[in-house]
Amino acid sequence: MKKLQFPKKFLWGAATSSHQVEGGTKNQWSKWEKENAARLASEAKTKWQPWQQEKFPEMFEAENYISGSACDHYNRFQQDFDLAKELGHSAHRFSIEWSRIEPEEGKFDEKEIEHYRQVLIALRERGITPFVTLWHWTNPLWLEEKGGCESRDFAKHFAKYAEFVASKLGNEVEFWITLNEPTSVIASAYLSGAWPPAKRSYLASWKLYATFAKAHVAAYQSIHALDENAQVGFANILHSFAAYSEKSWLDKIMVKTGRHVANKRMLNLTEGFNDFLTVQYYFHNRFKFPKKLRLADKPENDLGWEIFPEGIYHILKRLKVHKLPIYVTENGLADAGDEKRMDFIKEHLAWIHRSMEEGADVRGYFYWSLLDNFEWDKGFWPRFGLVEVDFKTQERKIRPSALEYAKICKNNELELE
């Protein structure tokens, strides 16, 4: 038996986002879901493998694709944070829903600020440190009418909203995350067209890097103007890349390009405006020119995403040069049967620990997600939760892997066989 010790103040927890758990949100996603649910249900037949179709027949029902009341976390956050506490979490990442705070342009809703104040107090009462995300992909409808993320004033609007929230809730928050995964939005909403507004434009995609960087920097500055001690960063999805053959310069060029576009560009554009870095790790890409290669014998999750724990080690090692603290703000898998989750967490943590031994300044780990929730264009069938949710009754059930993760959180130590 090997025991890996983590540093004393290491933060342990899980993450969620408003649209995926709260229920009752009104934003560009909830609008798009209603317009596209029937289409998504009928496309499931061609999109997913036979084993997935058999295991998750919900994917053929239109209601699967409508977030609706989600986990009703808006009303049940106290009970959900009791679970997080029971599971030994010392930190929790959640997002504030912009469309609730600013339902009309320039009109801020104090009642909703009060709601999130209660959320923050509930965490503090349980000794849980909040990480607050200001934008986890959802735009208020008034902003969508102005072009959403492509609106010329997106950064200005976002910074104003961020400033308002920080001015009201800053006393309760040390860690702010401005934007969640800008590059996922660029890729899936503006390049592949899978997410609203379902565009396929290289030009729009390229321009959005600058827009998101501007929005982050503006929010970073407004939050710091209010509180110079605030810790501000953005949540960056970082992919693992490998060349199929180290001898092929074409495979290697693909790796370099992938790394630049997916991992580095947003970091470069926001250089100097991050108090900490983040890692959200889900994907390993193996390139055999001119394609991404899938190897049949690799372990995968319910969504068919390859499980490659070593990838996080290489990602963390590459971030060392920035000399900033790092938080793993998302890492997780869809695993309805809870068969692979425990090993997944342990193996990723072992690789994270190794990167720390080699100098990566990692200070926290947030599993995605605390609860089963609404997985965007895939709907409810992918089950990422430490806690299982019955979406009909809203009953919560702690999964066995969550209890194993709880031991790690409580002991600050990972035991390996």
Residues lying near ligand FCB in the complex (CB under 6 A) are found at 17, 20, 180-181, 184, 237, 280, 282, 330, 368, 375-376, 384
CB-wise, 4 or 134, nearer to ligand FCB? 134
Q: What's the rounded Cα separation, in Å, for the pair 341 and 307? A: 10
Neighbours of 164 (CB within 10 A): 16
CB-wise, 243 or 334, nearer to ligand FCB? 334
Nearest approach in angstroms of CB 253 to ligand FCB is 26
CB-wise, 160 or 284, nearer to ligand FCB? 284
CA distance to 70, 88, 236, 238, per residue, from 182 (Å): 23, 30, 7, 11
CB-wise, 133 or 211, nearer to ligand FCB? 133
> For residue 64, what are its two tokens?
């699967």
Nearest approach in angstroms of CB 227 to ligand FCB is 26
Nearest approach in angstroms of CB 18 to ligand FCB is 10
Q: What's the rounded Cα separation, in Å, for the pair 347 and 307? A: 10
CB-wise, 188 or 222, nearer to ligand FCB? 188
CB-wise, 160 or 258, nearer to ligand FCB? 258
Q: Where in 10-74 does DSSP place strands (E)?
A: 11-15
Q: Is 33 exposed, middle or buried (0-12, 13-18, 19+ CB in 10 A)?
A: buried
CB-wise, 176 or 376, nearer to ligand FCB? 376
Nearest approach in angstroms of CB 16 to ligand FCB is 8
Residues 6+ apart with CB under 8 A from 347: 309
Nearest approach in angstroms of CB 94 to ligand FCB is 11
Neighbours of 337 (CB within 10 A): 10
Nearest approach in angstroms of CB 59 to ligand FCB is 16
Q: At 201, which amino acid appears?
A: S
Q: What's the rounded Cα separation, in Å, for the pair 221 and 226? A: 9
CB-wise, 21 or 87, nearer to ligand FCB? 21
φ, ψ at 366 (rounded to 5°) = -120, 115
In sequence order, what are the beta bridge partners of 284?
A: 240
Q: What's the rounded Cα separation, in Å, for the pair 346 and 307? A: 12
Nearest approach in angstroms of CB 39 to ligand FCB is 20
> 3-class DSSP state for residue 242?
strand
Residue in the block written with tokens 């909830």: 30
Name the CA dihedral angle for 31, 109, 17, 408, rounded to a multiple of 10 degrees: -170
> 3-class DSSP state for residue 349?
helix
Nearest approach in angstroms of CB 5 to ligand FCB is 29
CB-wise, 252 or 383, nearer to ligand FCB? 383
- Alpha-carbon Rg for the chain in angstroms: 20
Nearest approach in angstroms of CB 180 to ligand FCB is 5
Q: What's the rounded Cα separation, in Å, for the pair 352 and 350? A: 5
